[in-house]
Amino acid sequence: MRLKDQVALITGAASGIGKESALLFAAEGAAVVAVDVNEAGAAAVAGEITAAGGRASAVKADVSKAADCEAMVAAAERIYGKLTVLFNNAGISHADDDDAITTTEAVWDLTFQINVKGVFLGCKYGIPALRRAGGGSIVNTASFVAILGAATPQLAYTASKGAVLSMTRELAVIHAREGIRVNALCPGPLATELLMKYLNTDEKKQRRLVHVPMGRFGQAREIAQAALYLASAESSFVTGAEFLVDGGITAAYVTPA
């Protein structure tokens, strides 16, 4: 098993990438702490894992709140004795996110509180736990739009994921000698509830799909498989990476400097 004896904390675990990662990580031997602001959803995922013979616990947390992030890490160590994998996956894409003129300050602030501050707080409290465990892996969910920019305006989201990407690079450099790897997972457009709520018309969907060489939206399970690689020892020499899983969209539009 690729995560045997590992303890993985996954935020945003009630749905989408987080849920699929929780199920996959558990199947690969990890004890999973399923974290979400949706307590019932996190509990359902943890229940699904335990029913299949795995180890999992659900924790309710709002990742934009320091006390909640401190508590979720403490729960992992209290229940399972350590934390070795931290997947800062929770994030939002607001339906009213648009260009600089249209996007409200409230939408901007909410997006950054969850998408950026949530990753910062996860690392703030998670890194000391990884040190206590003797090292481990941090995976932060960024996005292909952190590199490419979105065809359909979503300025707050794009800027927030750019912040996650740059934060990941710096954390990777700072903690490399401590046996703590930090990588950014950059999904392309996915057929998840999060994106489909934003791409809420056929026109918006096609505007995105026309740019994807594979011609389809990705699946959350495909991103979970990439997260598993970054979480596992198979990626032992990988840190500070922008790990693109995007159906070729970035390769089609970004020219190396």
**Domain spans, the chain:** 7-253
What are residue 5's DSSP bridge partners?
A: none
Q: H or E segment at 48?
A: helix 39-51
- DSSP conformational letter for 125: H
| CA torsion angle 232 234 237 243 (round to 10) | -70
* Annotated active-site residue in 157, 198, 229, 253: 157
What are the C-alpha distances in Å from 39 to residues 23, 45, 76, 115, 240? 17, 10, 16, 19, 32
Domain 7-253 fold = Rossmann fold (3.40.50)
User: What does the alpha-carbon distance between residue 197 and residue 71 come to, in Å, rounded to a whole number?
Assistant: 30
Q: What are phi and psi of 13, to 5 degrees?
A: -85, -5
State yes or no: is 157 an active-site residue: yes
In this prediction, residues 50-79 reach a mean pLDDT of 98
pLDDT of residue 186: 98
Q: H or E segment at 198?
A: helix 193-198
pLDDT of residue 201: 81
- Nearest-Å Rg of the Cα atoms of the chain is 17
pLDDT of residue 187: 97
Residue 139 C-beta-side C-alpha neighbours within 13 Å: 33
Q: For the segment 147-205, what is each residue's pLDDT rounded down to a tens digit?
A: 988 778 899 999 999 999 999 999 999 999 999 999 999 999 898 776 777 677 878 77
Band the pLDDT of 224: cuts 50, 70, 90: very high
User: What does the alpha-carbon distance between residue 165 and residue 64 come to, in Å, rounded to a whole number?
Assistant: 18
Q: H or E segment at 188?
A: none
Q: H or E segment at 33?
A: strand 31-36
In this prediction, residues 229-242 reach a mean pLDDT of 98
